[in-house]
Amino acid sequence: MYTTDTILKFGFSLGTLGGARFRLSFLFPIALIAIIWRLDNLVLGLLATAILLFSVLVHELAHLLVARSAGGEMDEIHLWPLGGLEEPFGRGYLHDHFQTMLAGPLINLLLALSCMMTLSAAEVSPLLSPFSGFFVPFGEPLSDTAWRMAFMVNWLLFVVNLLPITPFDGGVLFRTYMSTRFTDIESRDLMARLGLVLGMFGILAGFVFDISGLVALSTFVIVLHLHENVRWYELAAAPDEFSVFDITEGSGEPDIEFFDEESSLSDGPSESTDVREEWRLDPEEARMPQEHAERPSEEQQVDDILQKLHQNGRDSLSSLELQILNRVSDKYRSRRQHN
């Protein structure tokens, strides 16, 4: 998932592996306490948490390996109980990004299938529902319990990460697809609404069916989406003091360098006065030379911003770059509506 700068990202450094810095979310100790409480057994709680940490680490390492093989960047990995809170990127190509995001859930599916080979159908079927709960029969060997735990944990990571909401991999993939069909603002708005709606339904379903894990997960999703939504609009609304595209606002007169310089010098002041008067009478027509002159520079800057977006993610963009994308998107949309 894309980065945030609040308590949601508070964690502990685990060192560096494969050129990436690993951090452990503060949610892992909370998950440990919750698991021990639910299982009512310290040894089983520690075992389940160790399996969860290993499965999440393998999940993120799969993202890292595929991202690096696709020429992408993934400098920091923040582990939380259901994956990572940083979004890996390929070289900017859509198929590279899809492969990178699918690598994590697929490795968990392979681990779950491997564990299933040691279990019977009667042992597997109760574990297929991610929120069905985990029960340890009296006298069951610890090794059998560990295999069932490993299957349930990896199956849970696979299923949950296919959900079409961020921070899960399925949500990142869905947002990537939406960004190819709509503007970035429209895609973000849709993802925020979808996350909030599904989060509310998750809380309601968790209370109705007495699934505390679903309530906790849905609450975290809602808080995360609310924070990211506020943060996005704060960036988009920041004052643009250095905009190079602010060419149609205000009531000042146009820069004469965008008119025919030879004509202005040869025809004298009366021609210049006629040009200025024409601009006042028909601003749309008079702005066209300036827009044509600015367009190559504008397109180059947009290309550079989009390349940066694909390589490093949305949070690498400054407020100025976000406003440039928004302004150019609105300009092109308005142009299509008037054509």
Residues 299, 165, single domain; the answer is: no
Residues 140, 27, single domain; the answer is: yes
Instruction: Specify the higher pLDDT residue, 146 or 216.
Output: 146
Residues 167, 275, single domain; the answer is: no
Residue 188 belongs to some domain of the structure: no
- Averaged pLDDT of the chain: 77
**Two structure tokens written together for 327:** 């302004």
**Residue 226 pLDDT exceeds 90:** no
> Peptide bond preceding 29: is omega within 30 degrees of 0, i.e. cis?
no
Contact by Cβ (8 Å): 173, 102: yes
Residue 44 belongs to some domain of the structure: yes
Residue 333 belongs to some domain of the structure: yes
Kindly indicate the confidence band of residue 216, based on its pLDDT and cuts at 50, 70 and 90: confident
pLDDT at residue 246 in the model: 44
Q: Which of 181, 201, 234 is the last residue of a domain?
A: 181
Residue 207 belongs to some domain of the structure: no
Residue 231 belongs to some domain of the structure: no
pTM of the model: 0.67
Residue 196 belongs to some domain of the structure: no
Which domain range does residue 112 map to?
7-181
**Residue 48 pLDDT exceeds 90:** yes
Averaged over 283-312, what is the pLDDT? 64
Averaged over 115-135, what is the pLDDT? 87
pLDDT at residue 189 in the model: 83
pLDDT at residue 317 in the model: 66
Contact by Cβ (8 Å): 218, 275: no
Residues 273, 176, single domain; the answer is: no
Q: How many domains does the chain have?
A: 2
Residues 163, 284, single domain; the answer is: no
Q: Return left, alpha or beta for 91; rule: phi > 0 is left, psi -120 to 50 is alpha, else beta.
A: alpha
pLDDT above 90 coverage of the chain, percent: 29
Contact by Cβ (8 Å): 295, 288: no
Report the residue count for the chain.
339
**Residue 243 pLDDT exceeds 50:** no
**Residue 52 pLDDT exceeds 80:** yes
Q: Which of 181, 210, 227 is the last residue of a domain?
A: 181
Give the sign of the dihedral formed by CA 313, CA 27, CA 178, CA 109.
positive
Residue 214 belongs to some domain of the structure: no
Kindly indicate the confidence band of residue 117, based on its pLDDT and cuts at 50, 70 and 90: very high
CA distance 207 to 279: 65
State the CB neighbour count (10 A cutoff) for residue 321: 19
**Residues whose CB is less than 8 angstroms from the CB of residue 49 and which lie 6 or more positions away in sequence, other chains included:** 28, 31, 32, 35
pLDDT at residue 234 in the model: 62
